[in-house]
A and B are shown apart, each in its own frame.
Chain A
Amino acid sequence: MLCIRLSACFTLTFSLFAETPSAVVRMPFPIAPADDRSMAAGTTYFEPSTGTLSTRTAEGLVRRIRLPVAPRSDLDSDVSSIRRSDGGTSYSYTYTVTDRDPGRGGVNLVLYLPGSDASRLVEARTWRTAISDTDLPDSFSMVHLGRLQRLAFRRSGIPQQAPTIRIESDRRPGFLEVSLAGVMLDSADMESEKVQRFLEESGTALRAVVVAPLFTKTAGDREIAANLHYGVSSLVHRGVLGADSLYVRRLLSSLGVTVESGVAGLTEIQALQPVTTLERRIANQVVSAFRGGAK
């Protein structure tokens, strides 16, 4: 990883596909009945035996579309802190999607980030980028009636190189779950935009926990510790971090103490001994999140 110009530099990396392929997929559709005539008009069904969505129109026609197979991809998320000339600290967040099987089709990475982050800059040259306002509440920013923005990065073709999305922001790092979905190529009969949104947000998408620009400089230690506790626990649940790691156990314990006491036990956290490369990256992120950047 490049560390030019950076006073501190670290990376959070994990793979969506370890030795055993996996995907987190969730569909708010009932299972299709065996007989098409039993379908309720206007209701979308899922047929697991064929991997298709089906609907029955008011006229009695049944339309089916094949779900795209979830992308077989690795998603790396990195964060680096940047000391600005005015003495402040910014963060550079990078998201790199590497296809293990490019022939499976396009991918669509979706993040929901605080809409009040005026410092955010996005650079995603090889991606079709769509940033839109939403009606979803922002519970990170303490902004009156604040909402989240939806950042969608879509790539249909086969990349010549691992394409990286870069987001620069003044916001401090926290953990966030994102989705990485396949792209629906032929769904004209199925309200394609609606189906695509479904695929991205709750459908056949892979889900991953990444580091993202969430917290303002005034965020409290307890708020940050609670988020870090969630993120580390989530990485343990996903098998990315080892549940029996002494470092992980002590980190979770220290974060818990910070949440409940309201005092960031930075000294204690810094004294913990990460062992693996990923643990060292997590350690750097934890310290950086509390300090608001390297001093």
Chain B
Amino acid sequence: MSVWRIVRIALIPSAAAFAQPFYPPLGTFNESIVCLDQNGHGIPYAWIELTPATYLFTNAHLHDDPTHPISTVSPLYGYANAQGAFAYTMRTTLIGQHEALLSRCIAPGGGVLHTTFQHRVGYPDLFYNHHESIWRKIGGTDTGKNTGHGTTDYNRYMRLDAAYGIYYSTLDYLGAHPNQTRVCTNDMALPWGGKFDIEALEGKPWRNPHVSHDRGTAADIAGPTSSQCPVAEQVNVAQFVQACVARGAHWNVPHANHAHCNWANPTTYPH
């Protein structure tokens, strides 16, 4: 039994759809590690050790600190069963990020094998969303303050239904305001979603506010008094929200200086 490998068995909704599996934030997943010999057979009663880890600066979190959350695994070690399977539970963090599960398998015969399983925490259905002809990019380090997430290009990811929703809402609004050619957009979601911790550099990393922007279903459109958007491209907040509602947005929050349109109820996703 000198040649063997480790198998990780997981029930992940989006695992088969991507080169690397995605786990939704704040989820619980029951999985197994199996050590296989060179013939693909499980090694009974192998000793397994697991160590969860995270990669820094992924998913546009261009900041770090000692409180950086990592998904948890329990138990962290133990013997495999007679089939060679070691069951454990992984609970993902709220943070969209690149993570790894480092494993060590010790066969009863003494051989040791280290294997790294990589995965992402977040959502695999968020697309970069910017249409230059009707939207001006504001926010991020381009026109706003540094929140620790780079330029506004890093927070322009949306689920397709919401992306089309904000697109057609904009066209409807511009159609009703023929003297206006563009509106200013900002703060959709990070590339894989998850906690968009806009106060990370203000002593509040990895946490709220900004709950509506964790799933890629919301966007902000600049209104009067916005210091980042030219006056000619600012919107009438009430009228733009009305355009969003007509295109299916339901969970809108009134703000004085921007229209906030959300195509999903924040209570339906972790935040």
Could you tell me the distance in whole angstroms from the C-beta of B148 to the nearest C-beta in chain A? 8
Query: Does B129 interact with chain A (Cβ within 8 Å)?
Result: yes
> Which of these, A49, A201, A237, contacts B18 with CB under 8 Å?
A201
Query: Does B58 interact with chain A (Cβ within 8 Å)?
Result: yes
B18 to A22, Cβ gap below 8 A? no
Query: Does A63 interact with chain B (Cβ within 8 Å)?
Result: no
| Cβ–Cβ < 8 Å partners of B38 in chain A | 21, 69
B16 to A256, Cβ gap below 8 A? no
Could you tell me the distance in whole angstroms from the C-beta of A74 to the nearest C-beta in chain B? 15
B18 to A28, Cβ gap below 8 A? no
The digit string for A46-64, where 1 denotes a CB below 8 A from any CB of B, is 1111110000000000000
Closest to B59 in A: A139
A139 to B64, Cβ gap below 8 A? no
CA distance A230 to B11 in the complex (A): 25
> Which of these, A28, A31, A207, A239, contacts B16 with CB under 8 Å?
A28
Closest to A209 in B: B118
| Cβ–Cβ < 8 Å partners of A27 in chain B | 7-10
Report B95-113 residues with CB < 8 Å from chain A CB. Answer: 98, 100, 102, 111-113
The digit string for B1-42, where 1 denotes a CB below 8 A from any CB of A, is 001111111111001111111000000000010101011111
A30 to B128, Cβ gap below 8 A? no
Query: Does A14 interact with chain B (Cβ within 8 Å)?
Result: no
Given contacts A25-B5, A143-B128, A146-B128, whether A20 and B113 have CB atoms under 8 Å apart is: yes
> Which of these, B18, B148, B150, contacts A223 with CB under 8 Å?
B150
Given contacts A70-B5, A139-B128, A145-B160, whether A201 and B19 have CB atoms under 8 Å apart is: yes
Closest to A52 in B: B40
Query: Does A157 interact with chain B (Cβ within 8 Å)?
Result: no
Size bracket, chain A contacts: 35 or more
CA distance A220 to B153 in the complex (A): 10
CA distance A41 to B111 in the complex (A): 38
Could you tell me the distance in whole angstroms from the C-beta of B40 to the nearest C-beta in chain A? 3
For chain A, what secondary structure do more than half of its interface residues adopt (helix, strand, loop), or is it mixed?
mixed
Query: Does A178 interact with chain B (Cβ within 8 Å)?
Result: yes
CA distance A138 to B124 in the complex (A): 10
CA distance A28 to B156 in the complex (A): 31
B128 to A50, Cβ gap below 8 A? no
Given contacts A201-B16, A256-B56, whether A31 and B9 have CB atoms under 8 Å apart is: yes
| Cβ–Cβ < 8 Å partners of A84 in chain B | none
Could you tell me the distance in whole angstroms from the C-beta of A134 to the nearest C-beta in chain B? 9
Given contacts A30-B11, A144-B129, A229-B55, whether A24 and B18 have CB atoms under 8 Å apart is: no
> Which of these, B4, B7, B55, B117, contacts A21 with CB under 8 Å?
B4
Query: Does B147 interact with chain A (Cβ within 8 Å)?
Result: no
CA distance A256 to B55 in the complex (A): 11
B163 to A145, Cβ gap below 8 A? yes
The digit string for B110-146, where 1 denotes a CB below 8 A from any CB of A, is 0111111110000011111111000000000100000
The digit string for A131-170, where 1 denotes a CB below 8 A from any CB of B, is 0000011110111111100000000000000000000000
CA distance A230 to B163 in the complex (A): 29
Query: Does B191 interact with chain A (Cβ within 8 Å)?
Result: yes
A177 to B20, Cβ gap below 8 A? yes
The digit string for A187-210, where 1 denotes a CB below 8 A from any CB of B, is 000000000011001101001000
> Which of these, A20, A21, A260, A262, contacts B64 with CB under 8 Å?
A260
Query: Does A238 interact with chain B (Cβ within 8 Å)?
Result: yes
Could you tell me the distance in whole angstroms from the C-beta of A103 to the nearest C-beta in chain B? 13
**Besides the contacts A69-B39, A137-B128, A237-B100, what 19 more A-B pairs have beta carbons closer than 8 Å?**
A20-B113, A24-B115, A25-B36, A28-B10, A46-B7, A48-B41, A49-B42, A51-B41, A136-B124, A139-B192, A146-B128, A177-B118, A207-B20, A229-B57, A234-B100, A259-B57, A260-B57, A260-B62, A260-B63
Q: Can you offer 20 A-B residue contacts whose CB atoms are under 8 A?
A: A22-B113, A27-B10, A28-B12, A48-B7, A48-B41, A49-B84, A69-B38, A111-B19, A138-B127, A141-B128, A142-B156, A144-B130, A197-B16, A202-B15, A207-B20, A230-B57, A237-B53, A256-B64, A260-B64, A262-B62
Residues of A participating in the B interface, judged by any CB pair closer than 8 Å: 20-31, 46-51, 66-67, 69-70, 110-112, 136-139, 141-147, 177-179, 197-198, 201-202, 204, 207, 220, 222-223, 225-226, 229-230, 233-234, 237-239, 256, 259-260, 262
